């Protein structure tokens, strides 16, 4: 019961890594509160979890919506102990694709802006909203979803990588700014993980991912959830400003 009675907020908690994290935290005694834009999936998730889990439909790109969510949670529970900034999307494309000297395709401005809004600004919005409550109660834990590609780069992911590298930078800044308030801030950088995001990836590509991973398999959502659990727990009480790779030993490009 490493998170017994700790109010733990998880964005994008209706599926994938977010759902696995919510379930794992609940197993360890946390009072889980998830948010997502998928109402049906969110309600199904808290029904599966039980144990007084709560769901709110929240768009993390909407600052007012986020602030209302945090106010509702603090009014009801009186505390916020852990925030996991998990919500994220991909919209992959090459920066430009040129054939015979002619431009064929390029990453759209809309796809760039949407990924930045959710993956980067969403993390900013949620963190800024919870910090005052954590300061008032004397501490807390903030965990941010980065990625190995935010550290190593990858083809066709300019927008996604910009956000995940940005998350690492914000993690380090906030660890410095908030440490005086007993708030720890860390990031987790998953490798290739079996979630809905890669459900449309061809089997041949998936096999290539496995071969590039020294442990010879894709990560599972539970692998990432366990990393979040450790960093959220008192076992990590002297860890802040770090990025934990959970990638099976992978180095992108090798």
What whole-number distance in Å separates Cα of residue 110 and Cα of residue 211? Answer: 33
Instruction: Confirm if 226 and 219 have CB atoms less than 8 A apart.
Output: no
3-state secondary structure of 119: helix
Q: What is the sign, positive or negative, of the torsion defined by CA atoms of 175, 189, 13, 122?
A: positive
Tell me which residue of 43, 41, 2 sits closest to 24, measured CA to CA. Answer: 2
What whole-number distance in Å separates Cα of residue 246 and Cα of residue 148? Answer: 8
| CA distance between the termini of the chain | 39
What whole-number distance in Å separates Cα of residue 250 and Cα of residue 212? Answer: 7
Q: Known catalytic residues?
A: 160
Tell me which residue of 155, 131, 168 sits closest to 244, measured CA to CA. Answer: 168
DSSP H helices in the chain: 16-27, 39-49, 63-77, 109-116, 122-137, 149-152, 158-178, 203-212, 221-232
């Amino acid at each position: 019961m490493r998170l017994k009675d700790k109010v733990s907020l998880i964005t994008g908690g209706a599926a994938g890594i977010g759902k696995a994290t919510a379930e794992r935290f609940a197993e360890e005694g946390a009072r889980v509160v998830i948010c997502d834009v998928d109402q049906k999936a969110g309600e199904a998730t808290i029904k599966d979890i039980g144990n007084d889990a709560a769901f709110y439909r929240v768009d993390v790109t909407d600052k007012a919506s986020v602030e209302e969510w945090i106010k509702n949670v603090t009014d009801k529970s009186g505390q916020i102990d852990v925030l996991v900034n998990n919500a994220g999307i991909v919209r992959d494309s090459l920066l430009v694709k040129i054939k015979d000297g002619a431009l064929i395709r390029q990453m759209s401005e809309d796809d760039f802006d949407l990924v930045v809004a959710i993956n980067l600004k969403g993390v900013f919005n949620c963190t800024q909203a919870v910090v005052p409550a954590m300061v008032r109660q004397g501490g807390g834990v903030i965990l941010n979803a980065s990625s190995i590609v935010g550290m190593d780069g990858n083809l066709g992911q300019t927008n996604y990588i910009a956000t995940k590298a940005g998350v690492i930078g914000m993690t380090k800044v906030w660890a410095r700014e908030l440490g005086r308030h007993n708030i720890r801030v860390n990031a987790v950088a998953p490798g290739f993980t079996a979630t809905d995001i890669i459900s449309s990836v061809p089997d041949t590509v998936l096999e290539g991912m496995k071969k590039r991973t020294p442990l010879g398999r894709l990560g599972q959502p539970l692998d990432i959830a366990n990393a979040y659990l450790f960093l959220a727990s008192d076992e990590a009480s002297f860890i802040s400003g770090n990025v934990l790779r959970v990638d099976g030993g992978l180095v992108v490009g090798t």
